[in-house]
Amino acid sequence: SRHHATWVARSSLIGFDDAKLQEYLFYSRKEDNLLIRLRDFTINERQKELVQRWIDLSSEGRIVDLLEETVDRSDILMAFPDIVSRQDIEQIIDIIRILSREVGGDSIVLADKLRDLRESGGNSLEAVTIPPSDAVRVMTIHGSKGLQAKVVILADLFSG
């Protein structure tokens, strides 16, 4: 859709300003493939290669590969270099991978499932946080049963 094409063109991956965006969309026809048109309007060779890869992978229905390669080949993680942002991206791709398997890889049905998920406000997802391996884990005694740690600190052990 034009809305999604605008979003991608304005993103940090492509970075169109208002004038370039106007030029990109103004003469496009309803039947135009906006991804191919985006490739033709990219500013540099790196962007052109990325958009061409999107075209190739999307035409093969390889949406998860498209997402993974976009993360790998772009500077998106430079803008969000912290571990939590990286985990968020990995979790989103994992969710899409699972949903893609559920729908047999059909990108149209996958898009419908993602839209349904968005409209549900994500209420059907269970929040999961994966701490870095060197993180301090705070838990109850019951939650720690069976786990081993090099150091254990018991807060308020001798209080009151």
Per-residue pLDDT of the chain (160 residues; tens, 9 = 90+): 788 888 888 887 888 889 988 988 888 888 888 889 999 998 889 889 989 999 999 888 888 888 888 888 776 667 767 777 778 888 888 888 888 888 888 878 888 888 888 787 756 555 555 566 666 777 776 666 666 666 777 776 676 5
Compute the Cα dihedral for 48, 28, 107, 89 and give only its sign: positive
By CB atoms closer than 10 A (0-12, 13-18, 19+), residue 114 is middle
